[in-house]
Amino acid sequence: MAVLPIRKFPDPLLKSPTRNVLKLDDQIKRLIQAMIATMRHYPHCVGLAAPQVGSEYRIAVMDVSGHPKAEKPHGLLVLINPIVMEYGPREKVGREGCMSVPDFTGNVPRAMKLRLRAFDQTGSPQDWTLRGFEAVVAQHEIDHLDGLLFLDRVERVGSDVFRRKTYR
């Protein structure tokens, strides 16, 4: 499976809202498989949204298994037309990076619990409750689907955005 090129800021596609998938046809299934392959290709990549690979569909893939910050992760999650049903009350600020913003990281406040609804890769509707790091990743990916980057979520660009010194 081919690894797809990653769109980088300031590519305008990253700022555009996506459109819902209406039919899980072969084109969409191939896109999902290519997104999974692309995510897996990069050892530290825990999530990828369709606009990052040049697609306008509301699809994200994520997998935080094996990440040191992950507690009880769900494994591979394919989120088609995801919507957040509920944010947990507790927020925490954490450092985020993004393959589409390779030169910077940022301190971003996120809910520590999330209930979301999406179709899975078989087209079945699912409700997931995610916690901790997995919830943070889901919020980051759903932001991509709404045309938002972590840079749009930091409280103060002057003090909450950092130039990367090392690349993992």
| Contacting residues toward Ni ion, per CB under 5 A | 98
Pick the closer one to Ni ion by CB: 76 or 148.
148
Pick the closer one to Ni ion by CB: 25 or 79.
79
The single residue listed with the structure tokens 């087209």 is 123
Pair of tokens at residue 143: 């932001």
Q: How far is the CB of 45 from Ni ion (least distance, A)?
A: 9
Pick the closer one to Ni ion by CB: 123 or 164.
164
111 contacts: CB under 8 Å, gap ≥ 6: 87, 88, 89, 90, 91, 135, 139
Q: How far is the CB of 121 from Ni ion (least distance, A)?
A: 20
Reply yes or no on whether 141 is catalytic: yes
Pair of tokens at residue 121: 């890769």
Q: How far is the CB of 17 from Ni ion (least distance, A)?
A: 16
Pick the closer one to Ni ion by CB: 35 or 98.
98
In the set 56, 86, 134, 141, the catalytic residue is: 141
d(CA 152, CA 147): 10
Residue whose C-beta lies closest to Ni ion? 98
Task: Tell me whether the omega of the peptide bond preceding residue 12 falls within 30 degrees of 0, making it cis.
Answer: no
Q: How far is the CB of 23 from Ni ion (least distance, A)?
A: 26
Q: DSSP labels for 63-94?
A: --TT-TT-SS--S-EEEEEEEEEEE-S-EEEE
Residues labelled catalytic: 141
